[in-house]
């Protein structure tokens, strides 16, 4: 006999003001105060704001300078991603103690399918409350939980439950719950899409649900229309997928001041290539496609990409290829605000090495030796001469 599945087996667990909460845990003097985690430089933005800071209208992605004008007494803390990663790992272990079906969405939130955990831990809403209490008890942090028939609804519920609440949406309550929500609550509807929908008089989820398919396609295109139509009536067939290999990786840097010196740009590109190459090797993958990203002083952004004949995880090669893309732009002292480098089309490193058997490059050996030294003595142990400060 097949055991029956509960009608609302999906949990979405979302930490409240995650980075700010972790910082308050590390420094109890911050507890109860407006805390902003984010870049301290002139161009930084807020990555996380405590609830005490949100009272002033501050939200994440807001320029730090503006946030401080709204709340001058706020404490600004520089983000420490290693610490957040550490907490995230412990959070994950906690999730895995109730179900193997855990799909992390980011450091601070995850979907859990607890459809098979009922006999051990009780119904989903009981498991949700148990997790929230254990996160508070064992990690000292606040979390909110959504319990619903599918992922999209569970995520909406955790959002409505904040801070530190739990919302259980029963299958029979979906239509009434969704109908009143603004379109911005639908997954995939950001500022642009919302504006487009509003031009056609669509303001609520119920409006979208009542719109004919062909009309939606005309407004937002095929893929988005199909997704919107399903989500608006509470349908979401996506399963909880425990592990998905990364499809790409990237790193970018916004300069404190715009840069117009080609030599500086090339040197920064080498630094980015080093970072990406090390992450590729750590992940035991190699990349075939690389993308150079430039943001000019006026915020206009261009990308240029190139697909290589053979996948690589070598900084020297990534740098040479991306520098060629940079040269092809003929910037001629144009002021650059941001430089980025990304890779995609990832393949397992073993397969990449087989493809490159005849390609015995000494730099490969040098970079691997550098990895060994960095792993043993720290990141600062090995640096290219070209990246050392001149002064």
Partner DNA sequence: TCTGGGGTCCTCATCCTT
Partner DNA sequence: TCTGAAGGATGAGGACCC
Q: Which one of residues 119, 199, 247, 376 is an interface residue with DNA (CB under 7 A)?
A: 247
Residue 190 makes contact with DNA by CB under 7 A: yes
The active-site residue out of 109, 274, 317, 321 is: 109
Choose the binding region for DNA from 57-65, 112-120, 352-360, 361-369 (rule: CB under 7 A): 57-65
Q: Which one of residues 338, 352, 367, 370 is an interface residue with DNA (CB under 7 A)?
A: 338
Q: Which of 48, 79, 75 is nearest to 61 (CA)?
A: 48
Which 3-state string (H, E, C) describes 287-340?
Answer: EEEEEEEEEECCCCEEEEEEEEEEEECCHHHHHHHHHHHHHHCCCCCCCEEEEE
Tell me, yes or no, if 109 is annotated catalytic: yes
- 52 in Cβ contact with 33 (< 8 Å): yes
Q: Which one of residues 80, 134, 200, 251 is an interface residue with DNA (CB under 7 A)?
A: 251
Choose the binding region for DNA from 88-96, 122-130, 338-346, 354-362 (rule: CB under 7 A): 338-346
Please report how close the Cβ of residue 373 comes to DNA at its closest, in angstroms.
Answer: 22
Is 203 strand, coil or helix?
coil
Is 257 strand, coil or helix?
strand
Whole-angstrom Cα distance, residue 281 to residue 276? 9
> H or E segment at 67?
helix 64-70
Choose the binding region for DNA from 21-29, 137-145, 222-230, 366-374 (rule: CB under 7 A): 222-230
Q: Which one of residues 33, 160, 267, 279 is an interface residue with DNA (CB under 7 A)?
A: 279
Name, in order, each residue with C-beta under 8 angstroms of 28's C-beta and a sequence gap of 6 or more: none
Instruction: Pick between residue 153 and residue 189 the one whose CB is nearest to DNA.
Output: 189
Q: What is the CA radius of gyration of the chain?
A: 24
- Per-residue binding letters, 63-92, with DNA (x by CB under 7 A): x-xx--------------------------
Q: Which two tokens stand for residue 272?
A: 């980015």
Name, in order, each residue with C-beta under 8 angstroms of 40's C-beta and a sequence gap of 6 or more: 64, 76, 78
Choose the binding region for DNA from 23-31, 258-266, 342-350, 363-371 (rule: CB under 7 A): 342-350
For DNA, the binding residues (CB under 7 A) are: 39, 42-45, 47, 60-61, 63, 65-66, 105-106, 108-109, 155, 187-194, 221-224, 246-254, 279, 289, 291, 299, 301-307, 337-338, 340, 342, 344-345
Active-site residue numbers? 109
């Amino acid at each position: 006999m097949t055991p029956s599945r509960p009608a609302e087996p999906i949990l979405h667990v979302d930490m409240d003001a995650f980075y700010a909460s972790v910082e308050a845990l590390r420094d109890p003097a911050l507890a109860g105060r407006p805390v902003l985690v984010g870049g301290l430089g002139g161009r930084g933005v807020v990555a996380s704001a405590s609830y005490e800071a949100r009272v002033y209208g501050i939200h994440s992605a807001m320029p730090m300078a503006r946030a401080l004008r709204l709340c001058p007494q706020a404490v600004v803390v520089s983000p420490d991603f290693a610490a957040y990663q550490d907490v995230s790992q412990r959070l994950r272990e906690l999730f895995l103690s109730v179900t193997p079906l855990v799909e992390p969405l980011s450091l601070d939130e995850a979907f859990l399918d607890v459809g098979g955990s009922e006999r051990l831990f009780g119904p989903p809403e009981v498991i949700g409350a148990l997790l929230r209490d254990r996160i508070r008890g064992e990690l000292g942090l606040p979390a909110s939980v959504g319990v619903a028939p599918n992922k999209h609804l569970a995520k909406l519920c955790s959002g409505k439950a904040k801070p530190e609440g739990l919302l259980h949406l029963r299958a029979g309550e979906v239509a009434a719950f969704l109908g009143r929500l603004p379109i911005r609550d639908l997954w995939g509807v950001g500022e642009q899409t919302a504006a487009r929908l509003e031009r056609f008089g669509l303001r609520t989820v119920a409006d979208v649900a009542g719109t004919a398919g062909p009309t939606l396609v005309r407004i937002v295109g095929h893929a988005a229309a199909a997704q919107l139509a399903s989500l608006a009536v509470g349908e979401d067939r996506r399963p909880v997928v425990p592990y998905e290999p990364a499809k790409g990786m990237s790193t970018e840097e916004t300069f404190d001041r715009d840069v117009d010196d080609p030599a500086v740009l090339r040197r920064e590109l080498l630094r980015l290539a080093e970072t990406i190459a090390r992450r590729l090797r750590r992940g035991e993958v190699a990349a075939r496609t690389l993308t150079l990203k430039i943001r000019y002083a006026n915020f206009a952004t261009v990308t240029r990409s190139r697909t290589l004949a053979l996948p690589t995880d070598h900084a020297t090669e990534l740098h040479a290829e991306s520098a060629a893309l940079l040269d092809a732009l003929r910037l001629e002292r144009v002021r650059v605000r941001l430089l980025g480098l990304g890779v995609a089309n990832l393949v397992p490193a073993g397969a990449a090495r087989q493809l490159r058997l005849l390609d015995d490059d000494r730099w490969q050996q040098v970079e691997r030796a550098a990895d060994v030294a960095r792993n043993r003595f720290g990141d600062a142990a090995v640096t290219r001469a070209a990246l050392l400060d001149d002064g």
